[in-house]
Structure 1
Amino acid sequence: MTPDAVRALFTRADGTYLFARWGRPIVPVVFGVEEATLSVVKGAVEAVVALAGHRMAETDPELGANLMVFFFRDWAELPEVPNLDRLVPGLEDLCARLAAAQANQYRIFRFDPDGAIRAVFVFLRMDAHLEAVPVETLALSQAVQMILLWSDRAFAEQSPLVLAEAGSAMLRPEIAAVIRAGYDPVLPVMAQDGAHALRLFARLGRAV
């Protein structure tokens, strides 16, 4: 992991650098799954939050839950969820665009005034591709992608996960180190200067 590689994880397609982490405790809620899958998803979130050295809570004073994960079969189902359009303005048009693109996942981030992550909405359309992924792998991947505001290109060519010897998925060590470094309390909750990547890189050795 080089300074340039760290910078690339938070450099968007338009060339801008943007890093953000959660500033408030994370309160997850999962829709559209059975109890067994629910425990797997929440367990993955808990594991990644613990890795980051961050916190979880039973409720968010403003939102109730601030990490909402939706499993469904068709994008047309989302606009029918009561009050979701109040949380996600333009939901119907968004779903139409995602359906046309045959997308199977989408994440929306909301931010506090200081730039810290305030809430994340995760939408997973369970097509044949996602159904073929073990639920433990899918849950861990989504947990990793919500713990920081990664670049839209961060994992386009390489997954944040790697297969362990037993065949189960685990977080790539270098990505785990970036997550730990990103939650160093000395660093800001949000950064738009690429020099921030150098500060992250300087902490990677301590974060391994």
Structure 2
Amino acid sequence: MTPDQVEALFTRADGQYLFARWGRPIVPVVFGVEDATLSVVKGAVEAVVALAGHRIAETDPELGANLMVFFCRDWAELPEVPNLDRLVPELRGLCARLEAAGANQYRIFRFDAAGAIRAVFVFVRMDAHLAAVPAEVLALSQAVQMILLWSDRAFGDQSPLAQGAGGAVLLRPEIAALIRAGYDPVLPAVATDASHALRLAARIGRAI
């Protein structure tokens, strides 16, 4: 990947470059799926976290769980989840906007005082399109999108996934290398200067 391509993945629609990675171990919990799908989702999260060289933990001292993934059939189901409105203020209004927009997924990031990721709430509405996607593919896609604070325009033109040998769906090698580079302990957990993309790109070139 060129520095410009890396920069685009972390440059928001308003032109701001903003990179952030997790600043604490990730504690995932998944709601709204059967046990078989639960293991697939958690397995994808664990694989991406291991790729990044980050850590999974049993509990977060502040939140208990800091990566919460909610699957639903209709956005109207979410306000009925006990205490979810305490974690996500104005939840009913958000769900109404998602319904009006025809959205099928949404992510909310929370940050610590330094700007690193401290929690992510992932909402997935299983519409006809997502229902047709294999669970492994959907889970891997969601895991990739929570491991870093990507641009709100990232992956709009090209998925982070690709089809490998035998039809298996895998992370694109350059995206896998970018995730590893993003968690290089030499680099900062948060960056707002686009020169950061140059440092990422240099590491990607060595990793692929």
Q: TM-score normalised by the shorter chain: which range applies?
A: over 0.9
CA shift digits 1:114-170 (9 cap, x unpaired): 111000000000000000000000000000000000001110000000011212210
Give the aligned partner of residue 108 of structure 2: 108
Q: CA deviation at 1:206?
A: 3.2
* Whole-Å separation in 2 of the counterparts to 1:99 and 1:129: 15
Q: Show structure 1 runs of 4+ deviating over 4 A.
A: none
* Whole-Å separation in 1 of the counterparts to 2:64 and 2:10: 29
* Whole-Å separation in 1 of the counterparts to 2:121 and 2:166: 32
Give the aligned partner of residue 38 of structure 1: 38
CA shift digits 1:149-202 (9 cap, x unpaired): 000111000000001121221000000010000000011111110011011111
* Whole-Å separation in 2 of the counterparts to 1:207 and 1:54: 17
Q: CA deviation at 1:205?
A: 2.7
Give the aligned partner of residue 207 of structure 1: 207
Give the aligned partner of residue 66 of structure 1: 66
Structure 2 counterpart of 1:2, which letter?
A: T
* Whole-Å separation in 1 of the counterparts to 2:166 and 2:97: 39
- Structure 2: 5+ residue stretches without partners: none
Aligned residues: 208
Give the aligned partner of residue 196 of structure 1: 196
**Contact 1:137–1:168 under 8 Å retained in 2:** no
Report 1:81-96 matches (<5 A): 81-96=81-96
Give the aligned partner of residue 16 of structure 2: 16
* Whole-Å separation in 2 of the counterparts to 1:91 and 1:34: 24
* Whole-Å separation in 1 of the counterparts to 2:207 and 2:67: 25
CA shift digits 1:81-131 (9 cap, x unpaired): 111111001111000000011100000000000111000000000000000
Give the aligned partner of residue 129 of structure 1: 129
TM-score, normalization: structure 1? 0.99
* Whole-Å separation in 2 of the counterparts to 1:179 and 1:100: 33
Q: CA deviation at 1:207?
A: 2.9
Structure 1 counterpart of 2:141, which letter?
A: S
Give the aligned partner of residue 139 of structure 1: 139
CA shift digits 1:29-48 (9 cap, x unpaired): 00000110000000000000
Structure 2 counterpart of 1:76, which letter?
A: A
| Seq. identity, % | 83
TM-score, normalization: structure 2? 0.99
* Whole-Å separation in 2 of the counterparts to 1:52 and 1:30: 21
SS of the residue corresponding to residue 64 of structure 2 reads coil
Structure 1 counterpart of 2:74, which letter?
A: D
* Whole-Å separation in 2 of the counterparts to 1:203 and 1:140: 23
SS of the residue corresponding to residue 47 of structure 1 reads helix
Q: Does 1:51 align with 2:51?
A: yes
* Whole-Å separation in 1 of the counterparts to 2:103 and 2:193: 31
* Whole-Å separation in 2 of the counterparts to 1:167 and 1:98: 33
Structure 1 counterpart of 2:70, which letter?
A: F
Q: Does 1:156 align with 2:159?
A: no
Give the aligned partner of residue 183 of structure 2: 183
Structure 1 counterpart of 2:12, which letter?
A: R
- Structure 1: 5+ residue stretches without partners: none
